[in-house]
Structure 1
Amino acid sequence: MDFIISNEQLEQWCSYSPEELKKRKDLNADLRVRSESRQFYREVADLMAEELLANNAKGAATRWIVPAGPIDQWDYFIERVHREQISLKNLWIFMMDEYLDWESRLIPEDAPYGSLHAVMKKNVFSKIDPALMCPAEQIIFPDPRDLDYYDNKIEELGGIDTIWAGIGCKGLIAFCEAPHSRYYRISQEQYRNSKTRIVELNEDTLVALSQRRFGGYYDKIPPKAVTVGMKSILSAKRIVCMLRCGSWKQTVLRVMLLCTETTLEYPVTFAMKYIPEKIVFCDEETLEHPLCKE
């Protein structure tokens, strides 16, 4: 049976002050709090560069799962790549997800909004010196036309080194959201072993994305996506989470740090339990919570 977080547990976790959380020794992850998000994005970039340098020195491949948001860390990473002439030739980049239209087709790259291929090409990949950049075939998006290729390639490469992740309000990683159908059930074991798949976005995700970018204009947000599954996510040796947005992420941060069971309510709990190394960056505002002030 799935573990359900009780109101009493949630209220207890949300009652701790930021200073209490910083001092706790039993958190599920290495918590790194910075005054504002741009400070931790530079630190994340340094972690990226150091891992790449270490693997390059061993002649080993580096295997990442990365989001198309947040991407602020990439500018700092690219600065360092160019300054130190760090080669990305042995880097494999597995993008977490891609939007789909209502018919489960990819959004054209020249569309005004919705193509994560276009976002990454414009804001990240095109900024990297081609002489240092990894081959195009080592940048892999989940593809609705060949759902098995993504997971098979990760398995062939021996799993993932690090996932660089933003986390949603209800604990999504990529578009691995809480199952929401009233007509069928998914067990924890099924979810833990879930593969790349096509999903309909949960309503809270549509609300968040439309509010953040289009003033609540829901029709601007593609209703579906193709996403990495939890099986490939949990093959990682490390996950580095980046949380900002203040009140939108304050409760899920507490769940990530303090919930010791896995729950389909908050899929990120699977990563907190099963990935060996967990680092969580957040800003001071996101560490706050209204319940800790009562």
Structure 2
Amino acid sequence: MQVIIFDDAQQVADSAAQWVAELINKKPNPVLGLATGSTPISLYKALVNKHKAGELSFKNTTSFNLDEYLGIDGTNVQSYRHFMNENLFDHVDIDKSQTFLPTCNQGENPREQGLAYEEKIKQAGGVDLQILGIGANGHIGFNEPTSSLASRTRIKTLTQQTLDDNSRLFAADEFQPTLAMTMGIATILDARYVILMATGKNKAKAVKDMVTGALSAVCPASALQLHENAIILLDKEAASELEDQEYYTWANKQNIKINEEFGLYHNY
């Protein structure tokens, strides 16, 4: 696990954008795993800016999102399809027919839909780079605490903490789903590279548990300790409960030298 600490949230987004851009520019048919939520919005803005500047084309890119609320149509403003269109897809040259979310419409069997999503990822050649955020309770995707570390795409019941954290996005009289489809933890770990972005003091405890805590389903993000190429991008507030920050800073300086000579990726 490579932990990189930045001064502020914008630097976290710029670094994540650099990783995404290098993958897209170097691999003929890249496959991205994408996340929703407030943290990656600044990443998507940076990618849109790179596209508008002529530095980045998404024409040959395929994407798979982590999750989607159960039974919400893509035209619903609360859907993650709408979120992705609004924050990224509508502003770049990606083929929307190659952008996938783990949807499950009314009357569809969520178990079958989960298996079908896993098969789509497999047929695409697997995810090259998975973008993640982290919940205050340590969830990644909608893999809530106690989720199996061997889990695959499936339906999940959201915890009250997650519902409370997301309630700010819903009007008082608006329906807020309590169920969602999500990539599983094992699905996430299958990605060749993982970048987790965390910003803000409210994520500091979850970050500490992920990086230095026990490998445990109580903190689903701790599963990233098992990943060969997990890059954790933090601002100072999100990193505030970590010890040995001087080591992370020193190690990152050494990695910068290696990356400058050989590039960010050593394989896809």
TM-score using structure 1 length: 0.73
Between the aligned partners of 1:139 and 1:290, the Cα distance in structure 2 is 36
- 1:242 aligned partner: 197
**Structure 1 unaligned spans of 5+:** 1-28, 180-185
- 1:268 aligned partner: 221
Q: Which amino acid letter does the alignment assign opposite residue 223 of structure 1? A: T
Q: Does 1:253 align with 2:207?
A: yes
- Find the residue that maps to 1:163 and give its secondary structure: strand
Shift of 1:151: 0.5
- 1:163 aligned partner: 130
CA, structure 1 residues 240+160, in 2 after alignment: closer, same or farther (shift >3 Å)?
A: same
Give a deviation string over 1:184-206, Cα, whole Å, max 9, x none: xx7xxxx2332211111111111
- Find the residue that maps to 2:82 and give its secondary structure: helix
CA, structure 1 residues 42+154, in 2 after alignment: closer, same or farther (shift >3 Å)?
A: same
Between the aligned partners of 2:163 and 2:133, the Cα distance in structure 1 is 16
Aligned pair partner of 1:278 in 225, 230, 243: 230
Give a deviation string over 1:79-138, Cα, whole Å, max 9, x none: 1123235332221110111112xxxx2246244xx211111112211111xxxx232221
Calculate the aligned-residue CA RMSD, in Å: 2.5
Computing the radius of gyration over CA atoms, which structure comes out larger, 1 or 2?
1
The alignment-based identity, stated in percent, is: 25
Give a deviation string over 1:227-270, Cα, whole Å, max 9, x none: 11123211111111111131x211111112213x4211011111
Contact 1:206 1:218 in 2 (8 A): no
How many residues are paired up? 235
Shift of 1:271: 2.1
Aligned pair partner of 1:206 in 157, 163, 169: 163
Q: Does 1:136 align with 2:62?
A: no
Alignment of 1:102-117 (within 5 A): 105-107=71-73, 109-111=75-77, 114-117=78-81
- Find the residue that maps to 1:225 and give its secondary structure: strand
Aligned pair partner of 2:85 in 93, 96, 121: 121
- Find the residue that maps to 2:218 and give its secondary structure: coil
**Structure 2 unaligned spans of 5+:** 244-268
- 2:23 aligned partner: 51
